Structure 1
Amino acid sequence: MTLQKGTTYIYTYAYAEDERSLCALEMRSLFGEVSQSNVLESFVKIDPSRSPFIKERITVLYEVESLENLFLQVETLQLSGATFKVTYVKNSGQAKSEQEGFENRRAIERELGLHINGQADLRHPDRLFGVMNIDGSWVFGEYVKSESVWFRHQKKPNGYSTALNTRVARAVVNIAIPNPNGIKAIDPCCGIGTVLVEARSMGIDIVGSDRNQLILPGARENMIHFGLSGEIHLADIREITNHYDVAIIDLPYNLCSVITPDEQLEMLQSARRLADKVVVVTVEPIDEILLKAGFSIIDRAVAKKGLFIREVIVCN
């Protein structure tokens, strides 16, 4: 591997086979490309905890062809009294013969630590470094491990069986809003607030609304439970007059929310009016209705859970 000039970030990924399509769409949205392995190299800096699929990020400081050269490189690190820890990042995409065994990985961590001019602290280091072998080259840099924020959000006070799971919801938010700076978003069919919780936990400026007044107290309680704030209004999507950069719409489909094709068309026409970009989550084919509502379909993915399939469709 030969890194290009500029700050380069290495991300490692983990996903189930059923999540491959959704993960690829999230990659395209966040980075503008898809890796064919479990490792992605990019100039784009993303907090790894944003994605349910990213495991780790290394901000590359050195990239060399041999460990001996890497030992020499790390001797130049200036830590200014900060403590450190080195973590060997496994590359699960490499052939087994190229993967280092446990003892060898620990040995490489220790040897690098001996060449770094500073005090190692394995429990509470000031700085974390990662080392990784990619296609025979050695990469070393600042290391950040992802936190499974979406997993904590599974334990919310209120929920219902047909709501998006938090892992999918988090990916959908990233697909809809890859760069949150200056973006105003809305979830106009917010239900129990699963998308709102994921978006607000990432600091995204999003409001929620729903026409079902019975569900809104539960959505508000879910937000408060996780220490989050945000507006949630009682409103029919067809009556919303404000304009937003992005709308995320998980189309109602359970037995309590049966809507006709005409109602779907009205909802999507309203979405077309109130937002520049719309990401629709649906359990049934709606391409014809989307086109009729005036949308262009930009990208899409399938989110599977056993035999249950949702489509995530990006439109503008």
Structure 2
Amino acid sequence: MEMRSFFGTDTTSNYMISDVKVDPSRSPFIEERLQVIFQAHHLSEIKDSLKEMQETATTFKVVCLNKMDIGETKKIPHPERRAIEREVGLCIDGEPDLDHPEIIFGLISIENNWYFGKYEKSISVWREHLHKPNSYSTALNTRVARAIANIAVPKPAGISVIDPCCGIGTVVIEALSMGIDIVGRDINPLVCIGARENIAYFGLEGTITKGPISEVNEHYDVAIIDLPYNLYTHITREQQYEIIQNARRIADKAVIVTVDTIDHLIEKSGFTISDRCVAKKHLFVRQILLCE
């Protein structure tokens, strides 16, 4: 679902070729990205193109990314990958540096095509957020929270977001760490204090206010709502509907997370479910619904 939000499509393969540029560190599911400079059917053509490449680096490193099966393309054995890296590196204007290169170039073979470009490995920022000063056992895990933020806001520029049931701020932290303009809110004053402490702990700046969603008068592009769970919060279907109805009032789009099937409440509020998936955590099975 996150893939569809980013790229407009998905795949069951372990790679995707797209014109959409996404920072790989944004997603907890993307391991690396190759920003393609040259594409050719034969490695010799890539080498010829490199001799005329305008983009040069003082120091560089070349990595062959075929360290596993890529789609139907079989893994290239380690000695052969190293030989390819040396062979290609000799065609680049600059000084090789395997430890601290200024630029890392990547090379990959997929379905009888070679691709060469700038390589970037994902940094698992969400893992750093696992260790918060305050946490709840039923809160979204950071990996799912980051994906939800990306589903809600695949392109952050100019987009305003509210999480009106933010709890300890798991989604807010992930969103803030990606530069998303988000504010949090919760009816529990102690939870609000915990969320503020969590945000500050990671050196982020964000606003958490106390109060129900019904008191929100500002308008936002997106609302992210992890509905309270009946196990710990006595909430009726009427109260669930009130939250969803208010989300429809204050936002153009919403990502709603629920442990119950509430399609009829969402449709009754005026939202249409445009995409959905399921996330599991221990005994909890959550539905993630994109509503527009």
Q: Distance in 2 between matches of 1:110 and 1:258?
A: 64
1:94 Cα deviation from its structure 2 partner: 3.4
Normalised TM-score (structure 1): 0.89
1:116 Cα deviation from its structure 2 partner: 1.3
1:35 Cα deviation from its structure 2 partner: 2.1
Give the aligned partner of residue 190 of structure 2: 214
1:306 Cα deviation from its structure 2 partner: 5.2
Q: Identify the match of residue 56 of structure 1 among 27, 32, 45.
A: 32
> Secondary structure of 2:63's match?
strand
For residues 99-126 of structure 1, give each alpha carbon's deviation from its aligned partner in whole angstroms, at most 9, with x where no partner exists: 1011111111111112212101111111
1:79 Cα deviation from its structure 2 partner: 4.7
Q: Identify the match of residue 41 of structure 1 among 11, 17, 32.
A: 17
Moved more, 274-283 or 65-74: 65-74
AA aligned to 2:242 is E
Give the aligned partner of residue 69 of structure 2: 92
Asked if 1 retains the 8 angstrom alpha-carbon contact of 2:70 and 2:110, the reply is: no
Q: 1:94 to 1:292 in 2, by over 3 A?
A: closer
Matched, 1:105 2:92: no
For residues 256-286 of structure 1, give each alpha carbon's deviation from its aligned partner in whole angstroms, at most 9, with x where no partner exists: 3120001101111111101000100011101
AA aligned to 1:94 is G
Unaligned runs of 5+ in 1: 1-24
Q: Identify the match of residue 230 of structure 1 among 206, 217, 234.
A: 206
Q: Distance in 2 between matches of 1:227 and 1:306?
A: 30
Give the aligned partner of residue 222 of structure 2: 246
Q: Identify the match of residue 287 of structure 1 among 253, 259, 263.
A: 263
Give the aligned partner of residue 297 of structure 1: 273
Q: Distance in 1 between matches of 2:57 and 2:156?
A: 35
Percent identity of paired positions between Structure 1 and Structure 2:
54
AA aligned to 2:80 is N
Root-mean-square deviation (Å): 1.4
1:80 Cα deviation from its structure 2 partner: 4.7
Unaligned runs of 5+ in 2: none
Q: Distance in 1 between matches of 2:54 and 2:93?
A: 8
Q: 1:208 to 1:95 in 2, by over 3 A?
A: same
AA aligned to 1:121 is D
Give the aligned partner of residue 136 of structure 1: 112
Q: Distance in 1 between matches of 2:157 and 2:69?
A: 33
For residues 67-121 of structure 1, give each alpha carbon's deviation from its aligned partner in whole angstroms, at most 9, with x where no partner exists: 222222222223555211111113533347x210111111111111122121011
Give the aligned partner of residue 258 of structure 1: 234
Give the aligned partner of residue 5 of structure 1: none
> Secondary structure of 1:41's match?
coil
Q: 1:162 to 1:254 in 2, by over 3 A?
A: farther
Asked if 2 retains the 8 angstrom alpha-carbon contact of 1:79 and 1:118, the reply is: no
Q: Distance in 2 between matches of 1:222 and 1:257?
A: 22
Asked if 2 retains the 8 angstrom alpha-carbon contact of 1:283 and 1:309, the reply is: yes
Asked if 1 retains the 8 angstrom alpha-carbon contact of 2:222 and 2:252, the reply is: yes
Q: 1:48 to 1:80 in 2, by over 3 A?
A: closer
Q: Distance in 2 between matches of 1:81 and 1:151?
A: 32
For residues 190-209 of structure 1, give each alpha carbon's deviation from its aligned partner in whole angstroms, at most 9, with x where no partner exists: 00000000000001100000
> Secondary structure of 1:264's match?
helix
Q: Distance in 2 between matches of 1:225 and 1:197?
A: 10
1:36 Cα deviation from its structure 2 partner: 3.0
AA aligned to 1:281 is V
Q: Distance in 1 between matches of 2:64 and 2:283?
A: 38
Q: Identify the match of residue 93 of structure 2 among 117, 123, 139.
A: 117
Q: Distance in 1 between matches of 2:233 and 2:121?
A: 40
> Secondary structure of 1:255's match?
coil
Give the aligned partner of residue 179 of structure 1: 155
Asked if 2 retains the 8 angstrom alpha-carbon contact of 1:162 and 1:254, the reply is: no
Asked if 2 retains the 8 angstrom alpha-carbon contact of 1:272 and 1:294, the reply is: yes
For residues 206-233 of structure 1, give each alpha carbon's deviation from its aligned partner in whole angstroms, at most 9, with x where no partner exists: 0000001111111001101111001100
1:148 Cα deviation from its structure 2 partner: 0.3
Task: Kindly tell me the number of residue pairs found equivalent between the two proteins.
Answer: 291
Asked if 2 retains the 8 angstrom alpha-carbon contact of 1:30 and 1:178, the reply is: yes
AA aligned to 2:77 is G
For residues 234-271 of structure 1, give each alpha carbon's deviation from its aligned partner in whole angstroms, at most 9, with x where no partner exists: 01011111110000000010533120001101111111
